[in-house]
Structures are given as C-alpha cells and as structure tokens.
Amino acid sequence: MKNIQIIPMKNNTTKTVFAGAVALALLFSGACQAPASTLKQSESFTDKNWQMKGLTIAPEIDWNLDGIPDTDIFPLLDACEQDDGFLFQRDNQFIRVFGDELCDEESSDEGGRWSYSDTDRKLTIIEGEDDIQEFKVLESSANRLILLYRFQSTDEQWHDMTAVYTLRP
C-alpha cells in the first residue's frame, strides 16, 4: 500500500474515506434471496446504497490541525461530506452518491470499479487510472457495512480508519 498524506480538505477526505471514503442506504433484497449461509460476502453489500454514519481513527491524529489529537473524525467532516455514500453494483461498478448538500466541487455522482476477495475480505475501489484504495470488510450485513482503511501518515505512523455505513434513508 502506498504512503498517503492525509490533509483535512474535502477532496482528499472524500477520496480517502469515501472512495472514498466513504459513505455508503441499503435496499433489501427480496424474499427470493438465497439463505445467508450460501451467499458470497460481496452479495451482502452489492446493489445497496450506503451512507457513512461514523468515522474513527486509531491511533489518534490531529485531523483538523487544531493541536488536539482526534479519534472521532465524522463530526469533523463538513455536512456536505456526511451525507455522501456509495452504491456497489453487481457489475462491479460503483457510484459515489452525493447527498442533498453538495460541496463546492461536487456537481454529479462519480464512480469507478470495485472488486472483492472473499479469502482476505479485501474490497478494492478504483477511481480513475491510478487511484486504487483497499479496505478490509470488518462487517457486512443487511443494514450495516464496516470498512477498515489502513494508511501511513506523513510522520510514518500507521493508522486504522474505520468507517461505519448504514442504509441510505
């Protein structure tokens, strides 16, 4: 994984967290769905619209550069970032869904490709040609998705960023 400099600005936050980054509301599959024990893990989060509801980091980092180390990052995000999400389609395309409150550079939904490895529970998101981010899926259920993103800060310390997503209302 490449070293990433985290700067608390909309563009980097979005790409890092919602990939970013992050957000990610679900549509329940119908009653004709196979029993959970026979489903592939990726099927539990595909064709569902996810919205971020929480974002934490460990060990702590001074996210907003106010001199105080932070662990709960979600309240530090702009409101226009808090209502963004993801839709992972079965055809391995994903759409970054912008919420009602748009940030300055947001104009229409964006997207890319995604893949998932059941073996190591790794979700890979590709935006553009060289923006590749890897997440570990910690939990994936009918109404909740928890992703772990590991990055190295500019001081060469490793951090675990955990994003909690729920169904978009």
Amino acid at 149: Y
Handedness of CA 34, 36, 39, 43 (dihedral sign): positive
pLDDT of 9-49, one tens digit each?
A: 344 443 443 333 332 222 222 223 333 333 455 568 888 88
Q: pTM for this one?
A: 0.73
The answer to whether residue 72 scores a pLDDT higher than 90 is: yes
Rounded CA-CA distance 94/87 in Å is 5
Residue 70, H or E segment: strand 70-72
Length of the chain: 169
Could you give the CA distance from residue 3 to residue 156 in angstroms, rounded to a whole number? 8
Query: Confidence band (pLDDT; 50, 70, 90) for 84?
Result: confident
